[in-house]
Amino acid sequence: MITRESLMEFFESTRQLLRSGQAMFNIDDARLWSYFFTDSDRLRLEPAASYLGDRGYKIWGYLAPESDGSNGVYLLRADRFARHTADSLEERNRELNAVADRFAVASYDGMDVGGFDAP
């Protein structure tokens, strides 16, 4: 589970990158957030993808395991524009962990934020 402390550090380090010119976006604005789920069985990810899609997430599909077999998990990516704080992102992570539990997905694997503005 991603801790509140690590989220606070993530927000602050991203703000510092913006101040130093190394980041091209303000994490405090509405951004495109990507959320990731993993499982060794692609079929277990499909009900979670449908559920998230019905709730406004854009589902990008499934990244298949590496062809050499070293990474035997499928990755589901679900995106949504949102304005987050460490607190709201902590709540979103709790919600997405519950989605993984509800659909017996191996893991909610965390999130990332991109430099894309809300539409």
pLDDT in tens, 4-24: 999 999 999 999 999 999 888
Q: Tokens 């509140």 correspond to what residue? A: 4
Helix (H) or strand (E) holding 76: strand 74-82
Number of domains in the chain: 1
- Which CATH number belongs to the domain containing residue 85 in this structure? 3.30.70.970
Instruction: Give residue 31's domain range.
Output: 4-117
Cα–Cα distance between 119 and 115 in angstroms, integer?
Answer: 12
pLDDT number for residue 98: 98
pLDDT number for residue 61: 85
pLDDT number for residue 114: 81
What's the pLDDT band for 118 if we cut at 50, 70, 90?
A: low
| Residue at 65: amino acid letter | P
> Average pLDDT of the chain?
91
